[in-house]
Structure 1
Amino acid sequence: MIGISADFDPVHLGHVKLIDKARELADKKNEDVVIYLNKGFSANHAPFFVSYDARRRMALEAGADEVIPIEGLHHRLTLAYTVPIRIAMMIEDGVVDYVDAADVSTSKIKKYASGFASKGIFSGIPRTLPNRNVIRWFAVNEFLKKKYGKNLKFHIIPEHKIKGDKISGRMIRREILENNMKIPEEVQKLLPDSTVRILEKEIKKGTIPGKRNIRDLTKRLNTFSRANLNNIAHMNADAVNSIVAGRSYQNEDKIWASFRMAGYGPVLTRLAASAVEMNVTREEVYDLIKNYEDKGIIPPDMTVDQVIQRAWYVSSMSSKGYSASEAHNKFRSGVKSTLKRVKFFDAGMHLRSFETESLKQDMDALFYVDKNDRLCCEIRAEDRKIKSPLRLPAHHVTYLRLLIDSHFIPITGKLIEKPEGWRVRISVGD
């Protein structure tokens, strides 16, 4: 099998070049061209402009033999995690050759990828590198060879350009929207006839453009408490506080503005918004990653335990006078840490006497960072909602804050009554 992994939103002439190359390889080997087509959300975590069924027809008419949906990943996971999952899926399906396009030479991509793979770096590939995602695919492909005893053979073709410009799906979609849902003549020149025909039918049917469920998205952003927002994957403390400060929301523009205020870029904003829209919890993402870890698909530097251990190491070193960036760099450099992270620890609370009357053993506690940057917990008793700052040593404060900002490590709390008073037992991960 010859594989391509794509959004194809919509299929344009650059995609046709990929399929043509795959067809050339397939005909020589008497194999099929199979498209692994993202469904539900794009690789960049956005709703699709064109429906899955329409994109599937476009791919088949452009020369593919089969289309396999990839769904359930891109509103939950970053590309760093979806790439190994997709490569593993293709290897297990029997794909031997993989076709992609890049702006730089294959030899340069291999050089970068080999360097990262040899150092065990798969999640921290610099954004400044050209065709960064293709480099990631090469590096992860090398990693998975250890598991499967084989990997994909990559065939990289030059990115297709017209008059020196790369064809952009984003530009195509924008031009159609700005032209009152009609395909401009200049855009039609970038598309195969089959795509134009399918697009026109879908526009007539009213299925284009695909949209977010803005009702569910705004309802959660407008009504969830800080603690509940913090329990959604890919929401860090700054994002939660920015969202709360920016209420209320009726449209995406204001949502994007709040995420930008929290330092989120476009890709992370789309992922966080999709997670809120679909109510994706930290626990859900954690369990999903753990599932693929157990199958040997997730690289070592990306395991959930490594994320937790890094938070513990950085917080430990910070308490010794290191800056967070210095501690992080030491951890990334492969320093063997003898600092074993704790799986749970107890925090004190600032409670008023009448609040303690509402507490019971093993009540759940949720965590958040308030507008004054204090770590707090929220407890929902039968008769009231109780909020309290946490009392913790500095080391644990840093540790907990790093975990909150990890985007997907679940943090759970249970009330326990001790001789010295009520405490909340904080558990990390499992």
Structure 2
Amino acid sequence: MKKVGMGVDFDPLHRGHIHLIKEAKKIGEVYAYINADYTAHHAPPFLSFEARKEICESLGVEAVPVTGLHYRLPLSYTVPIRIHLLANDGITDIMDAAASHLPREEIFRLARKFAEKEMLMGIPRDWPDRNLIRWIAANELYGLKHKKKMDYHITPTYKIDNETVSGRYIRKAILENGRITAPVRHLIPSQTEKVIERELREGNVQKGRDADTLMHVANRYSKSKLLKLANINVDAAEKIVAGRPYEREDQLLFPLRRAGYQHVLSNLAISCMEKKVTRKDVAQLIDNYSKKGITPKDQKMENLIERAYFVARASQKMDANLADSVFRAGIDDFWEERYDEISSLSGVEAEKIRSLRKGLQYKAPPESILAGVKLRFPDLKRIDQNTICDITTRGSDIMAEFRVPNQVITGMLRLPAEEVTFLRYLLDSQLVPIACNVEMPEGKTRVRISYGLTR
């Protein structure tokens, strides 16, 4: 008997999901891998996992909890891990619903192409089938590495009255009205209706976040401490500090939007603040899956470091955003001078890529950076090799914070422009952990900056 898996929120399970389940049952036994603790949009669920499991069981579907991912990692980083979870449990087939725009054959051709390159991050952002291609590519890549590729099935997104059924609309309508209204009842099966009505009566709907911890982090963490958290970049840390004080979660959306975070990434940043998820925590998680052969090459920590270094060097000759697009489109192709291939994925003109390549030779990122620091003489006398040191920013400058008794001493780092840019991109990577310590070569105060887990 075939085992059909699907990666879902089911929050709540609606008629679109019923269609998906019916299609899956035509193939075999159905297993729903439900994001239990945080949804794929990095928010606490509307219904508990137990409530969603109850609905699944009433429909003849086995519910499997997926935890520990969506409050730590961007959605794209969870895909290869979830593929691994399905394959490792003996799932033979995957059922997915998508409003695909490209022919099925083209979607699978592109997915195989990205899988062969171990690229899940280089799929152009403006491709309408981007997420579907990423899922299929992750499955293809897993098959190449572990010889356990599952058959991937796509069914069209289910519509009622020519509109896609939206879980977000259902949740919003129920929360606003405190009950299931007639339009919502039209969109959910009786099994879901029964469970939601009970959960509403018992006050178990939309439990929310740990507000005390979230507000403590939002109001009390220094900028340097915020920058140790995963999925917080420099601009976000600055905007959060400037917008204090906060009393509610929704007030954090404003500084994050000002920092360029869209809704889903804002949810992820807030989740990391709530759970105090550090960059080091995430780096260790990625490293653990890398050692198991789960993480693709372009999501490994060393690739993020190489990307920051490449963009820092290339931005002297090309706009930084274009340089980043070139790297994401396939850095190996860049060094091997496959300009048309890079151009087709990055949107950067092939001639510009050619010109950049001619002026740029391969150079590995430094293992660490030794920086000078601008400090007043009285402050220098209070710092030694045991002084705790952190990295922060002030405008365009990168600063070191030295924690001495009853005081924090701040000094600007002295570095070549390229290394300043490199460090800035590492800080903005949102995932690469950065650490520093004081060194005293020949009695001079220096700051040794390391990044990643082994550097």
C-alpha distance in structure 2 between counterparts of 1:79 and 1:124, whole Å: 14
CA contact (8 A) 1:289 1:303 kept: yes
User: Partner of 1:307 in structure 2?
Assistant: 304
Match of 2:389 in 1: 365
1:5-38 CA-to-partner distances (Å, cap 9, x unmatched) read: 1100001011111111222211xxxxx3211111
Give the whole-Å Cα distance in 2 for the aligned partners of 1:307 and 1:398.
14
Q: Is the partner of 2:440 in helix, strand or coil?
A: strand
In the alignment, which of 16, 19, 34 is matched to residue 18 of structure 2? 16
Secondary structure of the equivalent of 1:25?
A: coil
Q: In structure 2, how many angstroms separate the alpha carbons of the residues matched to 1:214 and 1:107?
A: 47
The question of whether the paired residues in 2 share the 8 Å contact of 1:20 and 1:63 is answered with no
Q: State the shift of 1:367 in Å.
A: 1.0
Alignment of 1:159-308 (within 5 A): 159-179=157-177, 181-308=178-305
Measured against aligned partners, the alpha-carbon deviations of 1:217-257 in whole angstroms (never above 9, x if no partner) come to: 12111110000000000000000011111111112332101
Q: Which residue of 1 aligns with 2:79?
A: 83
Contact 1:214–1:277 (CA under 8 A) maintained in structure 2? yes
Cα distance, 1:396 vs structure 2: 0.6
* 1:138–1:307 CA distance, 2 compared to 1 (3 A): same
Return closer, same or farther for 1:330/1:127 CA change in 2, 3 Å cut-off: closer
CA distance in 1, matches of 2:244, 2:396: 19
Which deviates more, 331-340 or 246-255? 331-340
> How far off its partner does 1:322 sit?
3.4
What residue number does 2:376 align with?
A: 352
Task: Confirm or deny that 1:340 pairs with 2:364.
Answer: yes
1:152 to 145, 150, 153: 150
Contact 2:39/2:45 (8 A) holds in 1: yes
Is the Cα contact below 8 Å between 1:227 and 1:377 reproduced in 2?
A: no
Q: Is 1:14–1:159's contact at 8 Å kept on the other side of the alignment?
A: yes
Matched with 2:137 is 139
Aligned residue in 1 for 2:319: 323
Aligned-residue offset at 1:111? 3.7
After superposition, the Cα gap between the structure-2 partners of 1:150 and 1:178, relative to the gap in structure 1 and judged at 3 Å, is same
Whether contact under 8 Å (1:113, 1:139) holds in the other structure is yes
Aligned-residue offset at 1:330 = 4.2
**Count of residue pairs the alignment pairs up:** 421
* Alpha-carbon distance in 2 for matches of 1:325, 1:226: 25
1:95 corresponding residue in structure 2: 91
2:82 and 2:11 mapped to 1: Cα distance? Answer: 18
Q: C-alpha distance in 1, partners of 2:373/2:137?
A: 46
CA contact (8 A) 2:44 2:206 kept: no
In the aligned structure 1, how far is the partner of 2:15 from the partner of 2:63?
18
Deviation at 1:270, TM superposition (A): 0.7
Whole-angstrom CA distance in 2 between matches of 1:127 and 1:206:
40
Instruction: Give runs of ≥4 in structure 1 deviating > 6 Å.
Output: none
Deviates more, 1:124-133 or 1:150-159: 124-133
RMSD: 1.6
Structure 1 residues 129 and 210: CA distance shift in structure 2, 3 A: farther
CA distance in 2, matches of 1:111, 1:53: 39
Aligned to 1:37: 34
Unaligned runs of 5+ in 2: 336-360
CA–CA distance in structure 2, aligned partners of residues 11 and 317 of structure 1: 47
CA distance in 2 between partners of 1:272 and 1:385 (Å): 26
Give aligned-pair identity as a percent.
Answer: 38
Distance in 1, matches of 2:157 and 2:71, equals 27
1:360 is displaced (CA, Å) by: 2.1
1:400 aligns with 2:423: yes
- Aligned partners of 1:377 and 1:207: how far apart in 2? 46
Instruction: Provide the C-alpha distance between the structure 1 equivalents of 2:196 and 2:149, rounded to a whole number of angstroms.
Output: 36
Q: Cα–Cα, structure 1 residues 106 and 59, in superposed 2: closer, same or farther, change >3 Å?
A: farther
Contact in 1 for aligned 2:116/2:141 (Cα 8 Å)? no
Residue of structure 1 in register with 2:403 after alignment? 380
Q: Which residue identity is paired with 1:267?
A: V
- Aligned partners of 1:23 and 1:63 also within 8 Å: no
What whole-Å deviation, never above 9, does each CA across 1:169-198 have from its counterpart, x for those lacking one? 00000110111x100011111111010000
How many Å separate the matches in 2 of 1:106 and 1:251?
A: 45
Q: Distance in 1 between matches of 2:37 and 2:63?
A: 15
Contact 1:227 1:367 in 2 (8 A): yes
Cα shift readout 1:241-292 (whole Å, capped 9, x = no counterpart):
1111111111233210100000111111111110011000000000100111
| TM-score after normalising by structure 1 | 0.94
Segments of structure 1 that go 5 or more residues without pairing to the other structure are 27-31
Local SS of the residue matching 2:26:
helix
**Structure 2 CA distance, aligned partners of 1:411 and 1:228?**
11
Give how far 1:361 is off. Answer: 0.8
Residue aligning to 2:7: 5
Offset from partner CA, 1:37-74 (integer Å, 9 cap, x none):
1111101111111111101111111220x221110000
Shift of 1:317: 2.9
Deviates more, 1:128-137 or 1:7-16: 128-137
Distance 2:135 2:213 in 1: 34
- Could you tell me how far apart the structure 2 residues matched to 1:326 and 1:4 are? 36
Choose 401-410 or 252-261, whichever is displaced more.
252-261
